[in-house]
A and B are shown apart, each in its own frame.
Chain A
């Protein structure tokens, strides 16, 4: 993540100069070394990225991710993209985020897909963060196969198969079978198994 972008987000969010300066002191000017096979390497300065281990990092991630959220919401308001279930959520629901996990919800149209692709690449260019193509998938509900293929090709993502595994939970537009959900209880049991004392 680019530090300049984080600073820009803090400013746009209305944080005071003093606070931004404090944050800059913690984010910028840090040094790290890497511990491999029992030995420490040399310390060197870092120039971007957040350190997993700093208590502030998760909240910074929230703030920076909120920029993507705001960009998508603005695109939605401007009618450049159409979200889903507009009869339930005013203006349509265009996205859900959990840390670095983003679900984008779109009405199918080639225009919508192109515009979302544009928003995403602008966000990548500004934030210095990359969308992981290997981990991204496209899911369609009630769409003919050729449109599904077009959608996947437009974004360059794989076509996913329901159920979606979102935060470890299986989700599907169809009914979820007992077999599809069984791993959740198996996993939970395995976790609880070590709780002996």
Chain B
């Protein structure tokens, strides 16, 4: 277990020596300072007032996650041919009952040292007490399977703002990361792992992100090849 100040400073790569505490404290304070939003450009004007900044940021994200006004236009019912759709056997796989073994895999896949959600229990907590609580977690998933789980009661998170560029001057230059409750993420991670098993069958070959069996470099290589071909044929 890492000491409090090491965690707070999030320096994973320095070994915690006895005398290092003040160093880690300084790192943590510096980080907090860096995360502080003190000035933003709003409609061409620089705003420094804390209250105005907050109102602007909250308004911005309320708009971003607010109601969607959409044209009355829909995808063709057979946009995807039958062989590009999820087959019965895959659907059966996706909605089969949950098992303890499956949840053991989920918890192993959860990444340590990530921000806990608003409830405050970290991934490490769930891992440490996993043998004690896995039965309860499975019970929750059984309830989901039966269609009665009130997932909304766990489905809430805190949005933190990470800088996309330094220094950020407008709200668009922040990346909103949502810290969700770990117990909620265990549920959606379990669903994610199931979906990952079948998704490559229904995603076109032109996409190369998050799909097992594809590589980030494929798109680059294809593009380079196309340009090479065009150059030599022109």
Which residues of A come within 8 Å of B, CB atoms?
Answer: 2-5, 8-9, 12-16, 18-19, 21-23, 25-26, 29-41, 43-44, 46-49, 51-56, 58-59, 61-63, 65-67, 69-71, 73-74, 84-85, 88, 93, 95-99, 103, 105, 122, 125-126, 128, 141-142, 164, 166-167, 169, 171-174, 194, 196-197
Contacts and interface: CB of A to CB of B under 8 A. Distances in A.
A106 B213 CA distance: 27
Nearest to A174: B231
B62 A44 contact: yes
Given A16-B94, A19-B95, A59-B199, A47 B207 contact: no
Interface in B130-158: 144, 147, 149, 151-152, 155-158
B74 interface: yes
B52 to A, nearest CB: 12
Contact of A36 (B57, B74, B91, B206): B57
A33 B79 contact: no
A142 B230 contact: yes
B214 to A, nearest CB: 10
A173 B227 contact: yes
Contact of A15 (B15, B94, B228): B94
18 contacts: A8-B75, A9-B75, A12-B85, A25-B144, A30-B152, A31-B157, A33-B118, A34-B159, A35-B161, A47-B65, A54-B188, A58-B210, A69-B204, A93-B206, A97-B219, A103-B219, A103-B223, A141-B227
A112 B191 CA distance: 40
B219 A96 contact: yes
A104 B199 CA distance: 23
Contacts of B211: 62
A125 B75 CA distance: 11
A70 B180 contact: no
Given A26-B191, A59-B195, A95-B206, 10 more contacts: A13-B85, A26-B184, A29-B152, A35-B159, A38-B36, A62-B207, A63-B202, A66-B204, A74-B79, A103-B223
B42 interface: no
Interface of B: 13, 15, 32, 36-37, 50, 53-54, 57-58, 61-62, 64-68, 70-71, 73-80, 84-87, 91, 94-95, 118, 144, 147, 149, 151-152, 155-161, 175-180, 184-185, 187-189, 191-192, 195-196, 199, 202-204, 206-211, 216, 219-220, 222-231, 234
B2 to A, nearest CB: 15
Contact of B159 (A33, A47, A73): A33
Contacts of B76: 12, 74
A40 B225 CA distance: 50
Chain A CB within 10 A, most for which of B57, B75, B177, B223: B75
A41 B191 CA distance: 30
B93 to A, nearest CB: 10
A65 B207 contact: yes
Contact of B86 (A2, A14, A70, A125): A14
B223 A166 contact: yes
Contact of A70 (B68, B80, B187, B208): B80
B159 to A, nearest CB: 5
Contacts of B70: 2, 4-5, 125-126, 128
